Amino acid sequence: MSDVYFIERDPYAPIRHCYPVSKVLYEAKSEYQDILVFESPKFGKVLVLDGVAQFDEKFEFIYHEFMAHVPLCAHPNPETVLIIGGGDGGVLREVLKHPEVKRAVLVDIDKEVIETSKKFFPTLAVAFEDERTEILCEDGFAYMQRHKNEFDVIIVDSTDPVGIASSLTTEQFFKYVYEALKDDGIYVGQTESIYYHLEIVRKIQHELKKVFPVVDLYTAVIPGYAGYWWTISVGSKKYQVREPLRELKAPTKLYSADMHKHAFLPQSFYKKLL
Ligand code: AG3
């Protein structure tokens, strides 16, 4: 085992998550953030943005499956999907497993993340060339303001809500999301650990409740993120999202109809905390 460790720089987490490093593969400063790719003996390659691990190759499927399939399977016909962030392509790969999806738009502010993924993470970047995919490099907040009544599902796969991503969890942003969704649209966004970032989760749920009639929360355990139960917040205009409406026929590693329901099960516990 390596003696060199990458120690995460998450200012809100009360502990420090770390990975053993066998080799640093890439280090760069984009216009927006520091980018680092390293190899970890048991986890494969890891992508780090501004000192925070975004995923490792071994467990990335858990986060990406739960971010994509819960909202898509809770929607009766998700034809048009918007992903904000997610420049690595992991959420996009999962979204395009749904044959119902006719158009998937990915808006990431940082072109360098997309390029890094193409180079180092081909198993995530598989869907960039799909003919249903449109990729735009611009600020998600600005993009959202210009689009009305267009999307069935919006997925915000951002970095932690500090720095460049902080505008993506404000009431104003959620108002734009609401307007960009069709009448029965569903929003989900990654919103940190229920244990280690409770204040952040609370605040985001509060902002969402000002805008959406149905607000919910589910969790997935992601070994690469410190905090055990990682939350994904939901804002829905019409549908309840706790049970899938449709079955996903494409293969997944962890997501299933049972796991979908399971992700919402600890509601009484969440409620007590929030
Ligand atoms: N984006 C969210 C990663 C958040 C990790 N935060 C943390 N460990 N404090 C992941 C991008 C994957 N497509």
User: pLDDT of the chain along its 274 residues, tens only?
Assistant: 668 999 998 888 889 999 999 999 999 999 999 999 999 999 999 999 999 999 999 999 999 999 999 999 999 999 999 999 999 999 999 999 999 999 999 999 999 999 999 999 999 999 999 999 999 999 999 999 999 999 999 999 999 988 889 999 999 999 999 999 999 999 999 999 999 999 999 999 999 999 999 999 999 999 999 888 999 999 999 999 999 999 999 999 999 999 999 999 999 998 898 8
Residues facing 34 on adjacent strands? 29
Residue 258 CB neighbour total at 10 angstroms: 9
Let me know if residue 178 belongs to a domain: yes
Whether 26 is covered by a domain: the verdict is yes
CATH number at residue 37: 2.30.140.10
Our count of domains for the chain comes to: 2
Which residues form the domain of 135? 60-243+258-273
Residues 11 and 66 occupy one common structural domain:
no
Q: Do 113 and 225 fall into the same domain? A: yes
142 and 216 in a single domain? The answer is yes
216 and 176 belong to one structural domain: yes
Token digits for 137? 């490099």
Instruction: Please name the residues in contact with 113: beta carbons below 8 A apart, sequence gap of 6 or more.
Output: 30, 35, 49, 87, 88
CATH code where residue 70 lies: 3.40.50.150
52 lines ligand 1 (CB under 6 A): yes
What is the value of ipTM here, to two decimals?
0.98
Q: Do 192 and 83 fall within a single domain? A: yes
Residue 228 CA to ligand 1 centre (angstroms): 13
**Residue 249 lies inside a defined structural domain of this protein:** no
Look at residue 164 in the predicted model and tell me its pLDDT. Answer: 83
Which tokens go with 199? 């204040």
If you measure from the C-alpha of residue 86 to the centroid of ligand 1, how many angstroms do you get, rounded to a whole number?
A: 10
The Å distance, Cα 257 to ligand 1 centre, comes to: 24
Whether 225 is in the pocket of ligand 1, judged by its Cβ within 6 Å, is: yes
- How far apart are the C-alpha atoms of 159 and 17, rounded to whole Å? 16
In a domain, 253, yes or no: no
Question: Probe ligand 1: pick from 8, 190, 204, 231, max atoms within 8 Å of CB?
Answer: 190
Is the CB of residue 159 less than 8 Å from the CB of residue 85? yes
Q: Which atom of ligand 1 is nearest to the CA of 91?
A: 13
- Same domain flag for 36 and 149: no
Is the CB of 55 inside a 6 Å radius of any atom of ligand 1? Answer: yes
If asked whether residues 105 and 32 sit together in one domain, one would say no
d(CA 102, CA 131): 9
Q: Is 255 in the pocket of ligand 1 (CB under 6 A)?
A: no
Note whether 177 and 187 are within 8 A (CB).
Answer: yes
DSSP state at residue 253: S
Comparing CA positions, the residue from 213, 262, 225, 212 lying closest to residue 242 is: 262
Residues 180 and 216 in one domain: yes
